[in-house]
Amino acid sequence: MIETKGFAAQSATSPLAPFRFSRREVGDHDLLLEIAYCGICHSDIHQVRDEWGGSLYPMVPGHEIVGRVTRAGKAVKRFKAGELAGVGCMVDSCRTCDSCKRDLEQFCQRGAAMTYNGTEMDRKTPTFGGYSSQVVVDERFALRIRPDVDLAATAPLLCAGITTYSPLRRWKTKKGDRVGVVGLGGLGHMAVKLAASMGAEVTMLSTSRAKEADARRLGAHGFALTSDPATFKKLAGRFDLIVDTISAPHDLNQYLGMVRAEGAMVLLGAPPKPAPVHAFSLIFGNKSLGGSLIGGIAETQEMLDYCAEHRIASDVEVIPIQKVNEAYERMMKGDVRYRFVIDLKSL
Ligand code: NAP
Ligand code: ZN
Ligand code: ZN
């Protein structure tokens, strides 16, 4: 076993604190990664605090992992020791079901092995995430990272990047499309950058007036305050696609009113409580309401290559791991510009 240092939550109410645990030995198809950086996703907070139910403790969160390969199993083909690699939200799946065969491992019909707060495919061995010194992963679930990228700023692409890239591609975002992005946090700022890079006319829909200048710098062409009821009237029927990244309960009907006829709204944010949708919000305008969960491994690689090509990465505030609880508190107040990333050297 490989002795590993990390930070864990012991319960839904305890802060993250130092924790030692073991990783499995490096198997023939495995990589051992020394973790350099790990992003902090709002999903980490939801799960640490058991807001979605069923959380497993102790929990070492973190699914925006980048690092260097320090060992490669003897059957590994795509990586060599010394190269960079990334790990996102999944570390394994059955590989044979219909979803896995369609490159949608996140919907593996046997249940994908999530990077933390889950188990390996044996359904016994708990998985532990990237708030830790190293990780062992099958090379099929490791992503290639180009050596010329800013590593800390690349970490958030492994979740925030793919989660926003995938629906923009699915809704075929192109030049001139009017895209509204709701919520300027980790996901929201990637949605703005990616939609703008695809040629869309992007409007930031935010509760924070103070983020307007940043939204424009990130690539938004317009900005509207959702705390002002006039916004919903002014922008009624405006958008081809609305990308909703809000982490807390909110009125979906209000936002659907800003979708144009035949347009769509896609939910990425995962508030803990259900939100009612009025049928009239959809039938008047033939509108679609969809959802999107991260992306498969092949699409995640496509997104990383796209971002490296277009020089797109996250705007990050790098913190030592000792500040992780403070970072959670700041994210709860919407005070994140725009992704906290843990420098694991601090461990
Ligand atoms: P984040 O960095 O904390 O950003 C969330 C943003 O939502 C905030 O910055 C704020 O933006 C807005 N917001 C927060 N509370 C609000 C409220 N009460 N009313 C209106 N707006 C509010 O979070 P994140 O990491 O981007 O994650 C966002 C959500 O996506 C979380 O629920 C997370 O679990 C989920 N998620 C889903 C997937 C997926 O695969 N679907 C993947 C990753 C994360 P403004 O200040 O601009 O209003
Ligand atoms: Zn995430
Ligand atoms: Zn499967």
| CA 211 to ligand 1 center in whole angstroms | 14
pLDDT of residue 209: 95
Count of residues for the chain?
347
Position 111, amino acid: G
| CA 269 to ligand 1 center in whole angstroms | 6
Burial class (CB in 10 A: 0-12, 13-18, 19+), 96: exposed
pLDDT of residue 290: 98
CA distances from 63 to 25, 173, 346 (A): 20, 26, 18
CB 292 within 8 A of CB 242: no
Residues with CB under 6 A from ligand 1: 41-43, 46, 159, 163, 183-188, 206-208, 211, 245-248, 250, 268-270, 292-294, 331, 334, 336
Q: Whose CA is nearest to atom 12 of ligand 1?
A: 183
pLDDT of residue 279: 98
**Nearest bound ligand to CA 250?**
1
Q: Whose CA is nearest to atom 32 of ligand 1?
A: 247
**Which residue among 42, 223, 329 has the greatest number of ligand 1 atoms within 8 angstroms of its CB, and so is best to mutate?**
42
Q: Who contacts 154 (Cβ-Cβ below 8 Å, separation ≥6)?
A: 66, 86, 145, 304, 307, 313, 314
Residue ranges near ligand 2 (ion) with Cβ within 5 Å: 41, 43, 159
Closest atom of ligand 1 to CA, residue 182: 47
3-class secondary structure, 131: coil
**Nearest bound ligand to CA 167?**
1
Low-confidence ranges of the chain (pLDDT < 50): none
Distance from C-alpha of 190 to C-alpha of 315, rounded to nearest angstrom: 9
CB 267 within 8 A of CB 243: no
| CA 225 to ligand 1 center in whole angstroms | 16
| CA 339 to ligand 2 center in whole angstroms | 11
**Nearest bound ligand to CA 186?**
1
| CA 96 to ligand 3 center in whole angstroms | 5
**Nearest bound ligand to CA 97?**
3
Estimate to the nearest angstrom the gap between the alpha carbon of 200 and the chain centroid.
Answer: 21
pLDDT of residue 243: 99
Q: Whose CA is nearest to atom 1 of ligand 1?
A: 185
Position 170, amino acid: R
Distance from C-alpha of 120 to C-alpha of 50, rounded to nearest angstrom: 20
| CA 127 to ligand 3 center in whole angstroms | 18
Closest atom of ligand 1 to CA, residue 270: 32
